[in-house]
Structure 1
Amino acid sequence: MNDPYKILGVAPTASADDIQKAYRKLAKKLHPDLNPGNPEAEERFKEVAGAYDLVGDAEKRKRFDSGEIDAAGAERSRQNYYWDYASSEQDHPYTDNSGFADFMESEDAFAELLRRSAQAQANRRGHDLKFRLPIEFVESIAGANRRLTLPDSSTIDVAIPPGMTDGQVLRLRGKGEPGSGKGAPGDILIEVEIRPDRSFTREGDDIYLELPVTLTETVLGARIKVPTPTGAVTMTVPKGSNTGSTLRLRGKGAPRQAGGHGDQLVKLKVVLPKEPDPELEAFVANWEGGKTYNPREEVAP
């Protein structure tokens, strides 16, 4: 062990009170309970505790200062010192444990911290288990039931509530690792990852869908089936609708925290047949109205 005075950062002439104050300051900084997972702090704390055990005890300090024991508390070559002749029937004239005893009194703030830390260690809460769970977009809106496999190969069923957002965390209380002593078990924390959907997107509580429609449906109007995350519904396409026209399905969006649902907004996209249609080509060729209007008149030149 190095010089205990240097370890505590005090001079060899320091008073017992100064030594105690120096020890408290270092112990509060380095105690393992305040530095979990830091082996350097733990080793330094042991050095500080050993140094204080030596020079914080009046008798040991006297013996160290006079060369009777070394920095590790081991006996040096023995000589006749005054303490050898002190009467065993009375207190040793150089004995004084008051500094250490005072430190350990229950009303001392740090001693109380150590006591509570030890108690907390004996009754430590179990660790939380963390998972990332990918789900489909429609599951995030409508809800779902999934099964998780835990590290010990057991499984647990998880109910995905409707309206989940990407990155939101589900907490299953008491389903984590068991605690020690009287400590409560930890929790399972499940971060939800929503896979992108090829049809639906979400903004806030509203859902967006681009829906292909035929030329006939937009020119003449129609009643068509429209997919939603909770199932298809029937929607009216007004006569004369165009690509870019947006229709609103009220209450078909994501669930709101305050109650109710957002809307689903359906953006129409006119799609012509994949194969050329001679009849359609002939109609358009003879359609005079199609030659007289300019759909780009509002576009800047």
Structure 2
Amino acid sequence: MARDAYEILGVSRDADQSEIQRAYRKRARKLHPDVNKDPGAEESFKELSEAYDVLSDPDQRKRYDAFGPDFRRVGPDVDPDAYRRAREYAGAGAGRSSGWGGAGPGGGFRYTSSGDDVDLEDLLGGIFGARGRGRGGWGPVSGSDHETEVEVTVEEAYRGARRTLTVSGSDGPRTIDVTIPAGVVDGQRIRLRGQGGEGSGGGEPGDLYLVVRIAPHPRYRLEGRDVHLLMPLAPWEATLGSSVDIETPGGPATVTVPAGTSSHRRLRLKGRGLPNSRGTPGDLYAEAQIKVPASPSVEERELLERWRKVSTVDLRSPR
């Protein structure tokens, strides 16, 4: 992420999980490419999804708070204070008057400034596994992180899925079976520990990140975890009210249509959107779409004519 994750979501650094989720859902509705046709909306939505993926995961958020945007490149055993001090002193090298000092005890380079005497190899060694010049140079180096996209259907996003992926390694291509958890959203990143690039010198392998892409669907439209669909209604169902059976990603559901429902009215089924293992599931919105017969029968035409004669409703009134 080029920008701060908290800034992207518009929340404070002490925001709780419910605030983070609300902020994500609010912005996702505005930025989703299906809704926002601005050329930069898709990239902004990806950035938003990545920020949410980091801050909604307690472990990732803790490391992000400690190490910033580079947290995925920092080894699991690095001390946050040592990392911070190393970055501060490395960044101050060009601007402080005393500059770089000579070799310290045991051949290590030292940085001196305003009376301070700091052994950079002590600091950086805790981050990168350095063993010191006198003992054979750099030690274990962790492998790089890799990233790949994986496409799932809306139904798979709802219930979860499995994929077999081919990844490269020093011994040639290898296949791994991965599980896509239920409730993933478009742009979400899934971390597979130890499945990235191989380390050197005994270093730990990197991680593989799967970026979820949800394929377009002929019936459903997603906004975050909310599912939207069109619900065709006959004129009498909309006028008199009815119970309508519909298909959802999670299976059949029944929508109660109030009398006097017009086209484009959205009826909400709370909690029937995509599930969420960390919080509140999404909702399902069924949008009324009144349909009329293309070729009404003689009896239907007679009924409609009678309706027209007795009706006193002015549907085009400006009020």
Q: Is TM more than 0.5 here? A: yes
| 2:123 maps to 1:109 | no
Offset at residue 213 of structure 1 (A): 1.4
Q: Structure 1 residues 169, 258: closer, same or farther in 2, change over 3 A?
A: closer
- Unaligned 5+ segments in structure 1 are 1-100
- Unaligned 5+ segments in structure 2 are 1-101, 112-118
Q: In structure 2, what is the Cα distance between the partners aligned to 1:282 and 1:109? A: 97
Report which of the two has the higher share of strand: 2
Q: Does the CA-based 8 Å contact 2:185-2:224 persist in structure 1?
A: no
Offset at residue 187 of structure 1 (A): 1.1
| 2:154 maps to 1:137 | yes
Q: 1:190 aligns with which of 210, 227, 230?
A: 210
Q: Structure 1 residues 285, 261: closer, same or farther in 2, change over 3 A?
A: same
Q: How does 1:208-227 map to 2 (within 5 A)?
A: 208-227=228-247
Q: 1:162 aligns with which of 172, 182, 186?
A: 182
Identity %: 33
Q: Which amino acid aligns with 2:297?
A: D
Q: Which moved more, 1:245-254 or 1:166-175?
A: 245-254
Offset at residue 125 of structure 1 (A): 1.2
Q: Structure 1 residues 156, 141: closer, same or farther in 2, change over 3 A?
A: same
Offset at residue 229 of structure 1 (A): 1.3
Q: Which amino acid aligns with 2:206?
A: G
Q: Which amino acid aligns with 1:129?
A: H
Secondary structure at the residue paired with 1:286?
helix
Partner residue, 2:269:
249
Q: Which amino acid aligns with 2:109?
A: D
Q: 1:287 aligns with which of 298, 304, 307?
A: 307
Q: In structure 1, what is the Cα distance between the partners aligned to 2:265 and 2:257? A: 10
Q: In structure 2, what is the Cα distance between the partners aligned to 1:186 and 1:204? A: 29
Q: In structure 2, what is the Cα distance between the partners aligned to 1:266 and 1:235? A: 8
Q: Which moved more, 1:280-289 or 1:132-141?
A: 280-289
Q: In structure 2, what is the Cα distance between the partners aligned to 1:209 and 1:133? A: 24
Offset at residue 174 of structure 1 (A): 0.9
Offset at residue 256 of structure 1 (A): 3.9
Partner residue, 1:177:
197
Aligned residues: 200
Q: Structure 1 residues 231, 121: closer, same or farther in 2, change over 3 A?
A: farther
Partner residue, 2:7:
none
| 2:166 maps to 1:149 | yes
Q: Which amino acid aligns with 1:296?
A: R
Q: In structure 2, what is the Cα distance between the partners aligned to 1:181 and 1:258? A: 38
Q: Does the CA-based 8 Å contact 2:243-2:254 persist in structure 1?
A: yes
Q: Structure 1 residues 102, 232: closer, same or farther in 2, change over 3 A?
A: closer
Q: In structure 2, what is the Cα distance between the partners aligned to 1:198 and 1:180? A: 48
Q: Does the CA-based 8 Å contact 1:219-1:239 persist in structure 2?
A: yes
Q: In structure 1, what is the Cα distance between the partners aligned to 2:317 and 2:138? A: 77
Q: Structure 1 residues 156, 205: closer, same or farther in 2, change over 3 A?
A: same
Q: Does the CA-based 8 Å contact 2:182-2:276 persist in structure 1?
A: no
Q: Does the CA-based 8 Å contact 1:250-1:262 persist in structure 2?
A: yes
| 2:258 maps to 1:238 | yes
Q: In structure 2, what is the Cα distance between the partners aligned to 1:178 and 1:209? A: 45
| 2:286 maps to 1:266 | yes
Q: Does the CA-based 8 Å contact 2:186-2:224 persist in structure 1?
A: no
Q: Structure 1 residues 284, 168: closer, same or farther in 2, change over 3 A?
A: same
After superposition, the C-alpha distances for 1:238-286 in whole angstroms (9 at most, x for unaligned) are 3333222322212102234642323211111111123343322222223
Q: Which amino acid aligns with 1:146?
A: R
After superposition, the C-alpha distances for 1:187-214 in whole angstroms (9 at most, x for unaligned) are 1111111222222223344322221112
Partner residue, 1:199:
219
Q: In structure 1, what is the Cα distance between the partners aligned to 2:243 and 2:311? A: 29
Q: In structure 2, what is the Cα distance between the partners aligned to 1:284 and 1:102? A: 97
Partner residue, 2:145:
128
Instruction: Give the structure-1-normalised TM-score.
Output: 0.57
Secondary structure at the residue paired with 2:227?
strand
